[in-house]
Amino acid sequence: MENFASLLAGFSVALAPENIGACLLGAVLGLIVGAMPGIGSLAGCALLLPLTYKFNPTTAIIMLGALYYSNMYGGSFSAILLNIPGDSPAICTALDGYPLAKKGQPGKALMTANLASFLGGTIGILILTITASGLAKIGLMFGYAEMTLILLIAMTSISWLIGENPIKGIVITMLGILVASIGMDTLSGAPRYDFGSMYLLGGVPFTPFIIGCVGFAQVIKLINEREADEKKRASEDSRQTKLSIRGSILSFHEFRRILPPILRSGVSGTFIGVLPGSGATTGAMMGYAIQKKFKSEVPMGTGAVEGIAASEAANNAAAAGAFAPLLALGIPGSGTGAVLLGGLMMWGLNPGPLLFDTNPEFCWGLISSMYVANVFTLLVAILVIPFLIKILSVPVKYMIPIITCVCIVGAYSTSNSMYGVLIMFLSGIVGYLLDKNGFSTAPMLLAFVLAPMLEKNMRKAFIASQGSLEIFVDSPLKLVLLAVFLVLVLTPVVKSILRKAKAKKAQA
């Protein structure tokens, strides 16, 4: 009950004119960016981060939250109409969305995706409303040692889940931490690893680094996708497709078909979103996999609305669920979460157990704005249906110079110096080279954002214990956390050894 009273108070923040405007702007931009194939929510949030500098922290993060959230909606558009998922969480949507569009019902597929996104997201936000402050209260019981272990779990889980080589995951995570340690020491404020450069004294600026690593690196990769994009567009008959809101309305029977998968995926997606390292993509895949175990009127993969609903409800619910550990514990569940966390820190907010106590108006304002954003995004997503073909007809090849310029202009605007542009440029090249060689950059971003927190907690734990490692094992909770961490660390290593042994045996 207390939570819902706080939520109502939060609505007074969310419904302030500037916050409604920011929310609407975030929803529109998120939809457009999400619909553009190849950009994705991570790059989208990074590219649009500079736009939020004009606002106060609450308005800024409301806009960013709406943007992240509406990205999930947008990703389904190109998945359904072009069979090109706008973002990875929409991969499963394409499996049924595109066949349904090919059957001459693109409007129905889009409406199913929109409704499922809305309802799944609402379930996610409801669970977030109920659990977030409780999670923060649990977080308040954590000391430096517990927080160190939780941060280690958060970092390792994402590194381990992304990519097939766990060693590469560790390398990239450690690199992110080292980049973050350039500048000032987190505890004493003493200069560190500045290598005599006055620029490095201030550390590696967050926004240009993120814009480079994900935005500019993405543009470099996009050049290879343009030929495939051209071929796909040439073979598409989507240009002839006529879309209207009227033709997209679902019948009562169709709505009854999609409701059970939405409810199932909404709940499962939220809990998956809460887990560090899983995120919306895992949520969507899990939702789709669960739906496969149930009956659907049309076989899954051939244009079943149940499949679209399961995938879309799960990814939006996961996107909402990811806010719980982000706000309550300061732990982002994904690369996009890391960008949001970095944004929060940039505006002087310290996400974590104390945030609900020190900035309740912000926390509840943000949560209630998610309800508002969800409604706005649904409305915009429905209204935009007739114009989708035009929006999606922008070829990838024309996006390349536009995004390059946005990266440069955005990087300059956040640092007001060419140093920011240089950092963006260099981190873009590094991000591209790493990605090309099988090192995913998402764990590096997560590590970059979490490193100062990890260092602070770890050093304070060692100061408190006067250097004894016992502080990490002296309570049952710490032992459980340590066990989880060790399992996360050792599982991929053991798996890799077993795989090699199996291969050797097969060869013999």
Partner 1 sequence: MQTKKHFNAQAVIPLITGVVALVFLVTGFVNYGFWSDQPTPGFFPIIIAAILLITSAVCLYQSLTAKNAKDVIYCKGEFLVILGAAGIILATYLIGLVPSCLIYIFLWLKFVEHAPWKVIITVEIIIAAIALGVFTGWLQVRFPTGLLGGLLA
Nearer to partner 1, 220 or 477 (CB): 220
Among positions 170, 320, 346, 370, the unique one binding partner 1 when judged by CB under 8 A: 170
Check residue 102 for interaction with partner 1 (CB under 8 A): no
Q: Which of residues 465-504 bind partner 1 (CB under 8 A)?
A: 466-467
| CB burial of residue 466 (10 Å; 0-12, 13-18, 19+) | exposed
Nearer to partner 1, 152 or 363 (CB): 152
Q: Which stretch binds partner 1 (CB under 8 A): 177-185, 291-299, 316-324, 382-390?
A: 177-185
Nearer to partner 1, 72 or 407 (CB): 407
Q: Which of residues 35-54 bind partner 1 (CB under 8 A)?
A: 50-51, 53-54
- 85 vs 72: CA distance, rounded Å: 11
Helix (H), strand (E) counts: the chain: 23, 2
- 186 vs 345: CA distance, rounded Å: 14
Q: Which amino acid is at 20?
A: I
Check residue 197 for interaction with partner 1 (CB under 8 A): no
Check residue 199 for interaction with partner 1 (CB under 8 A): no
Q: Which stretch binds partner 1 (CB under 8 A): 120-128, 343-351, 364-372, 416-424?
A: 416-424
- 392 vs 398: CA distance, rounded Å: 12
Nearer to partner 1, 279 or 428 (CB): 428
| Closest approach of partner 1 to the CB of residue 247, in Å | 30
DSSP annotation of 251: P
Check residue 144 for interaction with partner 1 (CB under 8 A): no
- Which ranges in 83-187 belong to alpha helices (H)? 91-102, 106-140, 144-161, 166-180
Among positions 412, 477, 482, 484, the unique one binding partner 1 when judged by CB under 8 A: 412
Check residue 56 for interaction with partner 1 (CB under 8 A): no
| Closest approach of partner 1 to the CB of residue 181, in Å | 4
Q: Which stretch binds partner 1 (CB under 8 A): 249-257, 343-351, 433-441, 472-480?
A: 433-441
Among positions 185, 202, 260, 391, the unique one binding partner 1 when judged by CB under 8 A: 185
Check residue 249 for interaction with partner 1 (CB under 8 A): no
Nearer to partner 1, 9 or 482 (CB): 482
Q: Which of residues 274-313 bind partner 1 (CB under 8 A)?
A: none
Among positions 98, 439, 472, 485, the unique one binding partner 1 when judged by CB under 8 A: 439
For the chain, the first-to-last Cα distance in angstroms comes to 65
Q: Which amino acid is at 457?
A: N
Nearer to partner 1, 241 or 413 (CB): 413
- 330 vs 335: CA distance, rounded Å: 13
Structure tokens, 393: 């007809």
Q: Which stretch binds partner 1 (CB under 8 A): 212-220, 249-257, 296-304, 382-390?
A: 212-220
Check residue 188 for interaction with partner 1 (CB under 8 A): yes
| Closest approach of partner 1 to the CB of residue 222, in Å | 8
| Closest approach of partner 1 to the CB of residue 110, in Å | 26
Q: If we measure between CA atoms, which residue out of 119, 123, 124, 99 comes closest to residue 305?
A: 99
| Closest approach of partner 1 to the CB of residue 486, in Å | 15
Q: If we measure between CA atoms, which residue out of 283, 285, 290 comes closest to residue 269?
A: 283
| CB burial of residue 252 (10 Å; 0-12, 13-18, 19+) | exposed
Among positions 9, 16, 171, 298, the unique one binding partner 1 when judged by CB under 8 A: 171
Check residue 221 for interaction with partner 1 (CB under 8 A): yes
At which residue do the structure tokens 């409801």 appear?
126
Q: Which amino acid is at 433?
A: L
Q: How many residues bind partner 1 (CB under 8 A)?
A: 62
Check residue 233 for interaction with partner 1 (CB under 8 A): no
Task: Please compute, for residue 118, the number of CA atoms within 13 A of its CA located in the half-sphere on the CB side.
Answer: 17
Check residue 347 for interaction with partner 1 (CB under 8 A): no
DSSP annotation of 334: S
The sign one gets for the Cα dihedral 336, 342, 347, 350 is positive
Compute φ and ψ for 190, nearest 5 degrees: -75, 145
Nearer to partner 1, 96 or 225 (CB): 225
Q: If we measure between CA atoms, which residue out of 40, 16, 149, 65 comes closest to residue 347?
A: 65
Among positions 390, 436, 495, 499, the unique one binding partner 1 when judged by CB under 8 A: 436
B/e letters for 398-422, b = 16+ CB within 10 Å, e = fewer, are ebbeebbebbbebbbbbbeeebbbe
Q: Which residues pair with 191 in a beta bridge?
A: 184
Q: Which of residues 380-409 bind partner 1 (CB under 8 A)?
A: 397-398, 400-402, 404-409
DSSP assignment of 397-462 equals: HHHHHHHHHHHHHHHHHHHTSHHHHHHHHHHHHHHHHHHHTT--SHHHHHHHHHHHHHHHHHHHHH
| Closest approach of partner 1 to the CB of residue 502, in Å | 15
Residue ranges in contact with partner 1 by CB under 8 A: 50-51, 53-54, 165, 167-168, 170-171, 174-175, 177-178, 181, 185, 187-188, 190, 192-193, 195, 216, 219-221, 223-224, 397-398, 400-402, 404-409, 412-413, 416, 418, 421-422, 425, 428-429, 432-434, 436-439, 454-455, 458-459, 462-463, 466-467
